[in-house]
Structure 1
Amino acid sequence: MALSTAFTKLFGVRHPIALAPMGGSAGGALAAAVSRGGGLGLLGGAYGDRDWLARELPIVADSGQPWGVGFLSWAIDVGAVDHALEHDPGAVMLSFGDPSPFTERVRAAGAALIIQVTDLEEARQAVDLGADVIVAQGTESGGHGARLGRSTLPFVPVVVDLVAPVPVLAAGGIADGRGVAAALALGAAGALIGTRFQATAESLVDPSVAKAIVEGRGQDTERNRVLDIARGARWPSKYTARTLGHPYLDQWRDREAELAANPEARLAYQADVARGDIPALPVWAGEAVDLVTDLPPAADLVTALAAQADDALARAGRD
């Protein structure tokens, strides 16, 4: 049974499920597979690398299904957005930072504007900018999010009430159909899912990362800035990243300022990566990583998530 919401009607998709546009893992094949499965595949445009976009955009654009692309607002220029819009995406999602330099371009191209928010101030701005969909991200999410954010359960309904009638997608700590059902019960029109889709057949992550996610536990995840500082990432300090454990976390936990002032430590990080002593990238993973136990095709996963959500909602309504 299809779960019809404002989100599914807006994009003409069967299920209220969207792929988080994760840089480095949500490539064209993964986005296309999610869309074929009846969700909305969002390509991980991240920093707007032109070569990467030139390779991955045609893959999802040729899928014949609704799709979109996501970018990091703080890290891109208008050229990256213009390049993506040439492929006629159904949606452009903007996350982390001020989306206003790009919103008029998206709307003028006829694409739906999706804005991810991590606090109520960002949610109000998203409404003012004319967002067609707002993603409310809780702190349980894998990868980057607000350092002083709120967890998904209390945050989503507050955003739903604040931005109505704009549809809201819940994000953070959702990795199975029960989480999708919970999002709908909170008033959201669907769920944006990341970590669960990293562990799929079409994901671009290294096999070692997929293995780590399948074997990972939520209690082993940690939100921090240490790894961004160590690897020289330019992420604004407002945003930390939830990852699985890492040797540099153990070494530099609660010593971020000291690490930032220590160029030798950052050079040592690069040397450790070059030798293969540590992975090239941290393993981004949310608190629901315990629920990730296999590596299915993404289209099959979308179908399974939707069926689980429908069953969970039906069970919740029984006497």
Structure 2
Amino acid sequence: MPLSTEFTRLFGVRHPIALAPMGGSAGGALAAAVSRAGGLGMLGAASGDRQWLDRELPIVVSGTDQPWGVGFLTWAIEAGAVEHALEYGPSAVMLSFGDPTPFLEVIRRAGAALIIQVTDLEEARQAVDLGADVIVAQGTEAGGHGARRGRSTLPFVPVVVDLAGPVPVLAAGGIADGRGIAAALALGAAGALVGTRFQATTEALVDPAITKAIVEGRAQDTERSSVLDIVRGSRWPSRYPARTLPHPHLDRWRGREAELVGDAQARQDYQADVARGVIPPLPVWAGEAVDLIADVPSAADLVTTLVTQTVDALTNAGKALTSRPD
């Protein structure tokens, strides 16, 4: 059963599944594998580190002849990083968390589709006004960073769909199997952007300890906070806290963010713990669907599984409808 949507037709891909451009971990091998499998692989370029881009962009280019894209953290990049990535011919550029306006011209000039991720209605309206080709509606269940006062995926996606009109919308946040993708389609989305589930694949650029934590993680243990950004010395805007699995420094500083901001020793202690291997190199970003992750397949096998699950879920929903008594 083909799953044809405005998203699949726009990019010429087989499945309404996009890889979330998770900073650093969605490298060239993972993006290429998702694209080869029929989804839209997205390279997680984050702040546009040139050394990282120069290593990973050739991998995705040589790894697939199918459409692929690259995602940036809008608040953290300069136009030069976007221009450099565009030299490799991505089909799309995704901008998240910040004002995308400074980068529109270079993206349009290169002929790449513009994907804008939004976390609230103000950002959604701006994305429509700026002429986004695709809008990603991220709910608060998502792993990693998101709006401090956002909405859950279930109520947020249809509002954005209605607002965006003909512009295809991808649902994001708390989607880790085909049932979630089927639900996104039922909400009017043209597909789903999947993140945490793809962290636990053989091609993801993550430390083995992080993979293990995701497979063993539980949704009730995830928490949204700015503590780990502050203690790491990260420049992430405070309006975008991050959902992670438990962490010793989160336990130590929870509710004391104002005090933590001015504590240089706390940042030194954090780096010392990383150096000693007491904590992982990065926090474990994980969404509320982490309970659904129990293995570490290849990205291609995961895409196949997700599509099968989606078709099954939609088929079962149709059976429920047709089997109702008159």
The TM tier, using the shorter chain, reads over 0.9
TM superposition shift of 1:288: 0.2
Partner of 1:50: 50
Local SS of the residue matching 1:170: strand
Structure 1: how far apart are the matches of 2:271 and 2:163?
44
TM-score computed with the length of structure 1 as normaliser: 0.99
Partner of 1:29: 29
Partner of 1:175: 176
Specify the code of the residue in structure 2 equivalent to 1:76: I
Structure 1: how far apart are the matches of 2:167 and 2:96?
17
Structure 1: how far apart are the matches of 2:121 and 2:61?
33
TM superposition shift of 1:172: 0.1
TM superposition shift of 1:264: 1.1
Q: 1:93-143: CA deviations, max 9, x gaps?
A: 000001110011111110000000000110111111110000000000000
Local SS of the residue matching 2:76: coil
Partner of 2:93: 92
TM superposition shift of 1:262: 1.1
Local SS of the residue matching 1:239: coil
Structure 1: how far apart are the matches of 2:246 and 2:177?
23
Structure 1: how far apart are the matches of 2:25 and 2:270?
22
Local SS of the residue matching 1:55: helix
Structure 2 segments unaligned to the other structure (5+ residues): none
Partner of 1:136: 137
TM superposition shift of 1:307: 1.0
Q: 1:187-240: CA deviations, max 9, x gaps?
A: 000000000000001000011110110000000100000000000000001100
Greater Cα offset, 55-64 or 222-231: 55-64
Q: 1:138-165: CA deviations, max 9, x gaps?
A: 0000001011111000000000000111
TM superposition shift of 1:277: 1.2
1:120 paired to 2:115 = no
Partner of 2:147: 146
1:160 paired to 2:191 = no
Structure 1: how far apart are the matches of 2:162 and 2:172?
16
Local SS of the residue matching 1:317: helix
Partner of 1:10: 10
Specify the code of the residue in structure 2 equivalent to 1:108: R
Greater Cα offset, 270-279 or 32-41: 270-279
Structure 1: how far apart are the matches of 2:10 and 2:136?
15
TM superposition shift of 1:247: 0.4
Specify the code of the residue in structure 1 equivalent to 2:111: G
Alignment of 1:123-272 (within 5 A): 123-272=124-273
TM superposition shift of 1:272: 1.2
Structure 2: how far apart are the matches of 1:58 and 1:164?
36
Partner of 2:311: 310
Structure 2: how far apart are the matches of 1:247 and 1:207?
19
Partner of 1:77: 78
TM-score computed with the length of structure 2 as normaliser: 0.97
Q: 1:240-283: CA deviations, max 9, x gaps?
A: 00000000111111111111121111111111111111111000
Q: 1:67-111: CA deviations, max 9, x gaps?
A: 000000000000000000000100000000011100111111100
Structure 2: how far apart are the matches of 1:97 and 1:209?
27
TM superposition shift of 1:16: 0.2
Structure 2: how far apart are the matches of 1:52 and 1:287?
29
TM superposition shift of 1:2: 1.6
Which of structure 1's runs of 4+ aligned residues deviate more than 4 A?
none
Structure 2: how far apart are the matches of 1:207 and 1:265?
26
Aligned length: 319
1:39 paired to 2:39 = yes
Specify the code of the residue in structure 1 equivalent to 2:8: T
Structure 2: how far apart are the matches of 1:171 and 1:26?
16
